A and B are shown apart, each in its own frame.
Chain A
Amino acid sequence: MKIPRSHYLPRTRNGWIATVAFLVAMALAQPPIVHGVMNRIEPWVLGMPFLFAYLLLAYVIGIAVLIWAQRRGV
């Protein structure tokens, strides 16, 4: 079977949404963002220091994107 297009880029709208959303979530948990503006204790979020809560949120977004992709059959 011939390969019409490279597999490195998504071919569907949902594929693009999932890929971009996941990469954004991962980028939010990487330098320089975490070592810069997010590297702080305050403000406290639900009793947690800010950096901890921020990273937790980034991870939850990443997982949510994966679950969304799975439910959409991406």
Chain B
Amino acid sequence: MEPWVVSTGLIFLYLIATIVIGVLANRRGTANMEDFFLYGRQAGFIVLYLTVVATFHSAFAFLGSGGFFYTHGIGFWMAGTWTVLVGAITYTIGTRIWALGKKFGYITPADMLADFYESEGVRVIVALVSVLFTLVYIQVQSAGLGYILSVATGDRISFELASAILLVVAAGYLMVGGLRAVYWTDVIQGIWMYVAVWGGSLLLTYKLFGGPVELWRRLAAERPDMLSLPGPEGFFTPGMWLGMTIALSFGIIFQPHMMIRYFTAASSKTLKLLGATTPIYLMTLFIPAAFVGLGGALILPDLATPDRVFPELLFRFAPPWLTGLILAGATAAAMSTLDSILHSNMTVLTRDVYQRYVAPDRSQRHYLAFGRCVVVVLLVVGWLLTVVNLDYLVVLVMLSGVGALQLMPGVLGVCYPNRERLTTGAGVVAGIGAGLVTLYLTRVYFYQPFGVHEAVWSLGVNFVVTIIVSQVSRQPSKATVERIHGEVERFVYGD
């Protein structure tokens, strides 16, 4: 049997499995918003663990991280820093978000922020930032999926058709089973991608070098520039290191598809255990990525597209069945992020826009039907963004990673009571605006002034503006502050 038949067959087998899971999830679910959008707030540890790690690691973990090691050397091992920070953020902030969501019935991050700041402006800005800065991620994941399937089939299925097929499958099981289907498929995807990356990487490392130790020895002898900072191209400067740490820990956690996961936990103990242990999975996935990228730099030093290093090595040195299994794992990595982003955008648009401003007081079934329609629209928009190559998208993608980071002062103002000073709705809105403008300027016009990453600049300006404006604007009412901050106090320290 030809290798492409094996690879493609395994990927389609995987896709069929996800559809079956979506149908089973639909049978277990009930027709209400909490169940469809939030898994009924009853996600246990294992399901939540695997959906969080699978959502956090996208196609980038499979393709991009290997490419980063290939190009910039050992500096990308800094990725471990942000994965450990993600655990700490979940432990400290995630648990507070969960407690407030459970007590006051929040479904989206905008629900929580608008309630505390008593501001519809905050709701609209947060919803807009949530949707706009993750919409382009649909395009990124969809493009990654199209690439994987077209490569696996030897271009017998075009990039456009491949991305369409995979988008339809992800949107399909989401529409049928809601967040329950997303979570159940993420369980498979989370296991599959971990085994695939480690299995493929170790096989290649032992086959090509005789093991990791020999790989390190050869690197030290032949490419010592790959084993020190700032790397062969001088990329990992101190400013870049610090900025990427902030952007890819807080920035990813404050994206709606991650924050909504906090609302779904069955208990605070589940979330604390999640925070303490997710870095184990997230961090260790970058070890095999290092073997692939650094090993690829020795074996295939002239790749035009560094992100292709893993599939290129597999096609040349691994048996077809294993290549198929691993590419299905790459598909899983991209789909688990894609379905979560589709879900979060569906939830935000349905809850924060449609239910709030367009059609309040309708039945639960009405909102579920509308949510499914939103998925169809996102599906079409995502596919069009994928196949119509627009230059400005490149800028948007660069900005998107830091966009959600701008919610940080607002979230801290809700979750961290402070006797001395209160954050206000006007402060949050002004801070987000100033942060986004700074982000654009320090990314596009004055690229990373003094070598400091745009995440640091934008977040710093955001905090300063938020604090200043909060001093001179109307504070949330005493009753609201006591209600919400009182709940945080009770949750963290008891009565």
B475 contacts which chain A residues (CB < 8 A)?
A: none
Interface membership of B224, Cβ < 8 A = yes
Q: State in angstroms the CA–CA spacing of A6 and B492 once bound together.
A: 12
Interface membership of B471, Cβ < 8 A = no
- Contact A55-B80, Cβ < 8 Å, known A31-B241, A49-B74, A70-B91: yes
Task: Enumerate A52-74 residues with CB–CB distance to B below 8 Å.
Answer: 52, 55-56, 58-59, 62-63, 66-67, 69-70
Contact A51 B228, beta carbon cutoff 8 Å = yes
Determine the main DSSP class of A at the interface with B: loop
Choice from A6, A22, A32 contacting B418 with Cβ under 8 Å: A6
Q: State in angstroms the CA–CA spacing of A29 and B493 once bound together.
A: 31
Choice from A26, A35, A62 contacting B230 with Cβ under 8 Å: A35
Choice from A32, A51, A69 contacting B276 with Cβ under 8 Å: A69
Choice from B216, B220, B283, B489 contacting A59 with Cβ under 8 Å: B283
Interface membership of A24, Cβ < 8 A = no
Q: State in angstroms the CA–CA spacing of A1 and B85 once bound together.
A: 31
Q: How many residues of A contact B (CB 8 A)?
A: 37
Q: How many residues of B contact A (CB 8 A)?
A: 51
Contact A1 B490, beta carbon cutoff 8 Å = yes
Contact B91 A66, beta carbon cutoff 8 Å = yes
B418 contacts which chain A residues (CB < 8 A)?
A: 3, 6-8
Interface membership of B380, Cβ < 8 A = no
B495 contacts which chain A residues (CB < 8 A)?
A: 1
Q: State in angstroms the CA–CA spacing of A7 and B488 once bound together.
A: 9
Q: State in angstroms the CA–CA spacing of A39 and B196 once bound together.
A: 31
- Contact A70-B276, Cβ < 8 Å, known A31-B238, A52-B74: yes
- Contact A29-B417, Cβ < 8 Å, known A40-B228, A59-B283, A66-B276: no
- Other A-B contacts than A29-B78, A29-B84, A48-B216, 11 sampled, CB-CB below 8 A, are A1-B490, A7-B492, A26-B84, A30-B241, A49-B220, A49-B227, A59-B83, A59-B283, A63-B276, A63-B283, A66-B277
Cross-chain pairs A/B with CB under 8 angstroms, 17 sampled:
A3-B417, A3-B419, A4-B419, A6-B416, A6-B417, A7-B417, A30-B242, A41-B220, A44-B216, A51-B77, A51-B228, A59-B83, A63-B84, A63-B283, A66-B84, A66-B275, A70-B91
